[in-house]
Structure 1
Amino acid sequence: MSETTAEAEKAPVPATPSEPKDDQRWSQAMRDIVGGNAMISVLAVFLALVVGAVLIAFTDEQVQETAGYFFSRPGDMLGAVWQAVSGAYGALFQGSIYNFRRDGFLAGIKPLTDTLVYATPLIVAGLGVGLAFRVGMFNIGGRGQMLIAAAGAGWVGFALDLPPVLHLIVAVLVGIIGGAIWGGIVGLLKARTGAHEVIVTIMLNYVALYLISFLLRTPGALQAPGSNNPKTPAMKETAIFPDLLGPQYNLHAGFLTAIAATIFVWWLLNRSSLGFQFRAVGENPNAALVAGINVKNIYVYTMLIAGGLVGLAGVNQVLGTVTTGFSSGIDAGIGFDAITVALLGRSKPVGIFVAGVLFGAFKAGGFSMQAAEGIPIDIVLVVQSVIVLFIAAPPLVRAIFRLPTPGTAPRRQLPIVTKEVKAK
């Protein structure tokens, strides 16, 4: 054996790159969680509440009065600011979650049930909008789909005589079918003519509004007999959602439809072959077409299902909230609020459900905040709008809180290289 070979065998073998250590994996996972969409949504709500607090402070009369002598007695102004903001948000909490001023737990929990009532149509309508988002479509036609669904379900509710359970089921199905047809028109026009769904849905909103307004003024159609007001007759008892917790609460069985719709959309997107095609088209319609997916049919299916979900919101309004008859304002802006709910929920079923409950709390607590503290309910609308602003700008939220970007590795410090200097 030669001397060179022996020295080569004694030479140390270079170390192969080892797998990432557990601490590095946990570090990467924490970066993904902290900088992920869920954290962005939570921080967007927090920032919106901070902006709302600033507006509440600026519009409070006591704060304005103490601001005149702030430099001589700054504690007065700070106390007034704290009293205004804490009083407003305290009233918001007690009007939407739990009222500590009422006697007993059963009485104190009533605001939460009101929140769930407001959240029910927002959840199902948000699911319809979010489903379209996942396929790369913008369903701006929630108002029209709700109005058509409300008209169908309402007509069945006051015009037909059916057994109790069957009457409610038929009314709900007719409403869902009405919303699905109105949404399906959009999908069909996009698939066959290439019409942009945003333009078509907005135009169909006006078509539905004026159509329902005409029917509400037409005797024998939707207008109540013997009435000159554009309003329908009251719904029959057999077609109304029953109470879930008794007559002392407003929560009705329509909330169960929101839970069922959330489970259905989750299963559709994550466990069905049709949902896989939905997600594939949403990611890249050209690649999906090359893979053999009929993209045009997917557009039609998407809007049919999305329209039916949004239509379920109109059904809940007619058969659950407004049972004494409805007018053309039955949608109550829910069709557009659903867009915000879908954005906050990141178009995911569970996220939309949570976002719907949050916005339901804003609606329920906003009225309490206005009545108890005199805070304009427009503050709640500003908070909702600011949430959308921050949701639409994740880099801004990451910059404010110095959050990492998911999927990026932490910066490694460069090694310090020293150069040996030979002594002369």
Structure 2
Amino acid sequence: MTAAQTQPATEIAPKAPKPSKWRRALTEIVNGNALVSVLAVLVAIVVGSLMIALTDPAVQAAAGYFFAAPMDTFSAIGSAVGGAYSALFRGSIYNFNADSFAIGIRPLTETLKFATPLIAAGLGVGLAFRAGLFNIGGQGQMLMAAAAAGYVATAWELPFPLHLIAALVAGIVAGAIWAGIAGLLKARTGAHEVIVTIMLNHIAFYLLAWMLATQGLLQAPGSNNPKTAPMAESAVFPLILGPMYKLHLGFLLALVAVAITWWLLERSSLGFRFRAVGENPAAARTAGISVGRMYFTVMLIAGALVGLAGVSQVLGTEPKGFSGGIDAGIGFDAITVALLGRSRPLGILWAGLLFGAFKTGGFTMQASQGVPIEIVLVVQSLIVLFIAAPPLVRAMFGLPQPGVATRRQRRAAKKEVAA
């Protein structure tokens, strides 16, 4: 018997070649969450296109004689869908029908303006997600931040920029305190943050309503309407591109918040503790991390970020006075933005810009093409649906499921066992 025959089969079997760096990169992309988010948006847009086509009168009329002239139906579908998304682009990015570039670029500045509070509030929700907390109290945190910033901006008399800084800090601190209540209860008593933040939303809503109906607090002097007086000029966010556009300083502050949140999560020891608690609270506690303190701290920071969204609404978007609907549903839209951005600061930035474009362009779709604005809301809801079900998206596009061996991998494993 030769030496080769006496060696184990595992030693003489040829080793499988290592995949190239390009194949490894492609595998990481396919298995990553970012691709699932992109495909979820794509599927939602396709479903929205079907709804646009089904609700278009021209498509309905052409479908009545489809078998006689099928191309008329397809042409009507193309016109309806193409016209709708063309209007979405004109209303959110660039109006190519404008007389000048300065006018044509105005929709982009509106998109950035609408995206500003979505980005800030999305960061607050996403940061809590990374620590294992579901911050559903964005509405209450925004309302309390708006109340504090609005009071300082209307009742105090300070020079610029001290007045602006005071109103900004007051709003951020108010949002942090309101979220910190939920964090403290979670840390001390184990109260579920979802229930607590929902209750705090209701308390904030009615508390603000009382403030807006009380002279000396937020109600405009000499008025019976539940609305504040205009913000003092010394407390209003400056316009960063001049009076022709409504884009204000709040957008730059949101970008700064993205950078700070990224550094906090990815480069700081505090962010490491947040992520450790979010991954496994029991293991983090065993490693010496105070889980309760992390819950309280992360909710404080998350509330401050959401508070920045409320401040940008009061001092930037609605400086002429606000009422009880100042949050405009942003506190709940921020949950969608955080989910789409996978709770990553850069992902939240792009998700906020996308939803800002939907909001801005949706009005143009409705005005110029007669597309119901509810279809845009349906597309946003479908994005949440598909984001919440990654296996469904992977199955639709034939992508491998994480942790499940592909057919090729199973065949290779069988060959190795046989060898």
Aligned residues: 411
Cα displacement (A) at 1:9:
9.1
For residues 354-393 of structure 1, the aligned pairs below 5 Å read: 354-393=350-389
Matched, 1:402 2:405: no
The structure 1 residue matched to 2:272, chosen from 255, 269, 276, is 276
2:113 paired residue number: 117
Which of 222, 225, 245 aligns to 1:226? It is 222
- In structure 1, how many angstroms separate the alpha carbons of the residues matched to 2:405 and 2:390? 19
Distance 2:415 2:203 in 1: 70
1:57 maps to 2:27: no
Q: Secondary structure at the match of 1:130?
A: helix
Matched, 1:155 2:151: yes
Letter of the aligned partner of 1:363 in structure 2? Answer: K
Shift of 1:26: 3.3
1:249 to 222, 227, 245: 245
Distance 1:75 1:8, change over 3 A: closer
2:97 counterpart letter in structure 1: R
Q: What displacement does 1:27 show?
A: 2.2
1:32 and 1:407 in contact (8 A); partners too? no
Q: 2:97 aligns with which of 87, 96, 101?
A: 101
Aligned pairs for 1:234-383 (under 5 A) are 234-383=230-379
Matches within 5 A, 1:10-49: 14-15=11-12, 20-23=17-20, 25-49=21-45
Give the whole-Å Cα distance in 2 for the aligned partners of 1:174 and 1:19.
62
SS in 2 for 1:227: coil
Query: Quick one: distance in 1 between partners of 2:153 and 2:374?
Result: 34
Q: Give CA-to-partner distance per residue, 1:256-312, whole Å, 9 cap, x none.
A: 110010011101111111101000000000000000000000000011000110011
Q: Determine helix, strand or coil for the equivalent of 2:161.
A: helix
CA distance in 1 between partners of 2:112 and 2:245 (Å): 11
**Number of the residue aligned with 1:181:** 177
Contact (CA 8 Å) 1:32, 1:405: kept in 2 or not? Answer: no
Which residue identity does 1:380 align to in structure 2?
A: V
Render the CA deviation track for 1:40-65: whole Å, top value 9, x for unaligned: 00010011001111111111111111
CA gap 1:19/1:164 in 2 versus in 1, 3 angstroms: farther
Does the Cα contact within 8 Å between 1:32 and 1:406 map onto a contact in 2?
no
Equivalent AA in structure 2 for residue 120 of structure 1: T
Q: Using structure 1 for the length normalisation, give the TM-score.
A: 0.93
In 2: Cα distance, 1:85 partner to 1:55 partner = 9
Q: What CA distance in whole angstroms lies between the structure 1 residues aligned with 2:329 and 2:38?
A: 24
Matched position secondary structure for 2:258? helix
Q: Report the aligned-residue RMSD.
A: 1.9
User: Residue 189 of structure 2 corresponds to which residue in structure 1?
Assistant: 193
Residue equivalent to 1:207: 203
Residue in 1 that maps onto 2:125? 129
Could you tell me which amino acid in structure 1 is paired with residue 125 of structure 2?
Answer: V
Structure 2: distance between partners of 1:12 and 1:286: 47
Cα distance in 1 between the residues matched to 2:24 and 2:186: 42
| CA pair 11-190 structure 1, distance change in 2 beyond 3 A | closer
Partners in 2 of 1:156 and 1:406 — Cα distance?
A: 51
Give, in angstroms, the shift of residue 12 of structure 1: 8.8
Q: TM-score, normalised by structure 2?
A: 0.94
Give 1:364's aligned amino acid: T
**Offset at 1:405?**
3.0
Once the two structures are superposed, residues 78-122 of structure 1 have per-residue CA deviations (whole angstroms, 9 ceiling, x without a partner) of 111111111111000110001100122222111111000000000
- Give the superposition deviation at 1:159: 1.1
Kept after mapping to 2: 8 A contact 1:36/1:405: no
Q: C-alpha displacement at 1:166, in angstroms?
A: 1.1
User: Could you tell me whether the CA contact under 8 Å between 1:33 and 1:406 is conserved in 2?
Assistant: no
Classify 1:212/1:9 alpha carbon distance in 2 versus 1 (closer, same or farther; 3 Å): closer
Aligned 8 A contact 1:31 1:406 in 2: no
Amino acid at match of 2:167: A
Q: Provide the secondary structure at the position in 2 that maps to 1:164.
A: coil
- What amino acid does structure 1 have at the position aligned with 2:323? S
Please give the alpha-carbon distance, in whole angstroms, between the structure 2 residues aligned to 1:211 and 1:268: 33
> How many Å apart are 1:28 and its aligned residue?
3.3
- Bigger radius of gyration among the two: 1
Deviates more, 1:34-43 or 1:194-203: 34-43
Q: CA deviation at 1:403?
A: 1.0
How far 1:17 sits from its partner (Å)?
6.7
Query: How has the CA–CA distance of structure 1 residues 253 and 416 changed in structure 2, closer, same or farther, with 3 Å as cutoff?
Result: closer
Alpha-carbon distance change, 10 to 338 in structure 1, aligned in 2, over 3 angstroms: closer
Kept in 2: contact 1:35–1:398 (CA 8 A): no
Identical pairs, percent: 65
User: C-alpha displacement at 1:406, in angstroms?
Assistant: 4.6
Report the Cα distance in structure 2 between the residues aligned to 1:302 and 1:349, rounded to whole angstroms.
15
Deviations 1:174-202 (A, max 9, x none): 00000000000000011111110000000
Which sections of structure 1, spanning at least 5 residues, go unmatched?
418-424
